[in-house]
């Protein structure tokens, strides 16, 4: 007997580095359910903690709010997972969850900012879910449950175009010029389609998954407008997802000395020493407060962002943002809150001769070679800073899915963020 009602269904961990995509499987499920009369009320693409070592690629889970028979939907979702998930991959452990209503939001917030365990997910589901199934280790139950539990005080949208199955694992055909036009027509309401700083395309993946391209924006109308400009290989269908991408949902406020591994933070500190460029072009920056010191890293793939980090000097007051791994904060962006005067010493000029003096010897000050005039103290010169106060971010090609791009800050200012936490 059919039981038609509103329900939620979640999927996660069906992909692998070699292929497949959980969002494709979710979009396929949506198409199949619609074909047999289900109403789809909402489709969510939820990114979880980006530092988790168990993730396969982007750590995305999906949740669908639908109207129809939840038991039939659950059976069909499990069938799709059995058919398409890359079970051969040792990191792929799918999960399917059905719930009559949203799961407790605490689980989502923990999954996006910290670490959840499989037993925690199973305990939550035993109390709140209608049905669930874990494949292999069942780690996907965590993401599937978290997606259904997601609360989105801030949200964005993404249109994902999915390739015909006959084209999977073949080179993608997307006209680059049309992507640049798309970006120009719809910015600032879409972002990360291209990276103008490197004259490169960002929205077309390089992996062998079924996604042709993805367009992110402030509204479903903006992403559809963007898509209308794009020329590409023919594809059978796409899906617009409501998502937490580009919202900084993964960030916590943290203090130096009390940060936890596998979490992402905003940290206030003062630059303690000149940034250092190491082997491979990676830049290290040390900041500190009363809790101690913290090394921050800007890695080579962040390109021009490294020069902005190099422009910092001791005494600058910043908010550093990034993931804490192996005792280091890997920078996604930073805010220069107050700027230090860049002063250095030079030999003074002789007032009579208007020529620069030279050293008179160790501890003896300075002497004019022409007239013999002497000076004890050097001249203090202030160098103009190349960097401005405010936020500085990695380029689109290096941005994480969850990181909020500065283009979304529209009416907000860094001073407001700083005031909120001081």
pTM score of the predicted model = 0.90
Strands 237-243 and 39-47: parallel
Q: Where are the domains of the chain?
A: 5-149, 156-243, 251-339+385-420, 342-383
Which CATH class name applies to 5-149?
A: alpha beta
Domain topology for 251-339+385-420: OB fold (Dihydrolipoamide Acetyltransferase, E2P) (2.40.50)
- Same CATH topology for 5-149 and 251-339+385-420: the answer is no
- Output the tens digit of pLDDT for each of the chain's 422 residues: 578 999 999 999 998 877 789 999 999 999 999 999 999 999 999 999 999 888 766 789 999 999 999 999 999 999 999 999 989 888 899 999 999 999 999 999 999 999 999 999 999 999 999 999 999 999 999 999 999 999 999 999 999 999 999 999 899 999 999 999 999 999 999 999 999 989 999 999 988 889 999 999 999 999 999 999 999 999 999 999 999 999 999 999 999 999 999 999 999 999 999 999 999 999 999 999 998 999 999 999 999 999 999 999 999 999 999 999 999 999 999 999 999 988 888 888 888 788 888 888 887 888 888 887 888 788 888 888 989 999 999 999 999 999 999 999 754 444 454 444 44
Strands 251-254 and 263-271: parallel
**CATH code for the structural domain at 156-243:** 3.90.600.20
End-to-end C-alpha distance for the chain, whole angstroms: 59
For residue 289, give every residue at least 6 positions away whose Cβ sits within 8 Å of its Cβ, in sequence order, or none.
Answer: 255, 256, 268, 269, 270
Give dist(CA 264, CA 247) in Å, integer: 13
Count of other CB atoms within 10 angstroms of residue 152 = 14
């Amino acid at each position: 007997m059919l039981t038609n009602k509103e329900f939620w269904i979640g999927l996660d961990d069906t992909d692998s580095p070699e292929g497949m995509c959980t969002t494709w499987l979710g979009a396929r499920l949506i198409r199949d359910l619609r074909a047999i009369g289900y109403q789809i009320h909402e489709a969510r693409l939820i990114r979880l903690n980006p530092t988790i070592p168990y993730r396969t690629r982007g750590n995305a889970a999906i949740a669908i709010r639908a109207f129809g028979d939840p038991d039939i939907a659950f059976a069909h979702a499990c069938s799709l997972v059995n058919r398409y998930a890359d079970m051969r991959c040792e990191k792929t452990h799918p999960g399917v969850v059905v719930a009559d209503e949203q799961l407790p939001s605490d689980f989502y917030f923990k999954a996006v900012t910290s670490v959840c365990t499989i037993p925690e997910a199973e305990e939550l589901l035993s109390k709140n879910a209608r049905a669930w199934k874990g494949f292999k280790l069942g780690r996907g139950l965590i993401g599937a449950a978290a997606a259904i539990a997601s609360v989105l005080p801030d949200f964005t949208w993404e249109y994902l175009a999915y390739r015909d199955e006959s084209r999977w694992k073949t080179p993608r055909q997307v006209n680059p010029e049309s992507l640049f036009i798309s970006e120009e027509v719809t910015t600032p309401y879409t972002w990360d389609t291209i990276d103008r700083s490197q004259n490169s395309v960002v929205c077309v993946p390089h992996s062998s998954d079924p996604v042709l391209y993805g367009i992110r924006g402030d509204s479903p109308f903006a992403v559809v407008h963007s898509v209308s400009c794009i020329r590409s290989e023919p594809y059978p269908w796409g899906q617009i997802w409501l998502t937490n991408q580009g919202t900084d949902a993964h960030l916590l406020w943290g203090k130096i000395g009390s940060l936890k591994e596998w979490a992402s933070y905003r940290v206030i500190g003062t630059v303690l020493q000149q940034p250092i460029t190491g082997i491979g072009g990676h830049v290290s920056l040390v900041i500190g407060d009363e809790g101690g010191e913290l090394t921050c890293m800007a890695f080579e793939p962040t390109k021009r962002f490294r020069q902005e980090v190099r422009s910092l000097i001791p005494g600058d007051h910043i908010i550093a943002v990034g993931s804490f791994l192996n005792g280091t904060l890997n920078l996604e962006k930073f805010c220069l809150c107050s700027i230090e005067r860049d002063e250095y010493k030079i030999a003074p000029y002789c007032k009579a001769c208007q020529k620069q003096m030279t050293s008179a010897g160790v501890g003896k000050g300075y002497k004019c070679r022409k007239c013999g005039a002497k000076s004890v103290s050097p001249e203090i010169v202030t160098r103009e800073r190349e960097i401005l106060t405010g936020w500085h971010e990695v380029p689109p090609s290096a941005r994480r899915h969850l990181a909020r791009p500065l283009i979304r800050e529209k009416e907000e200012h860094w001073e407001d963020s700083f005031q909120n936490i001081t």
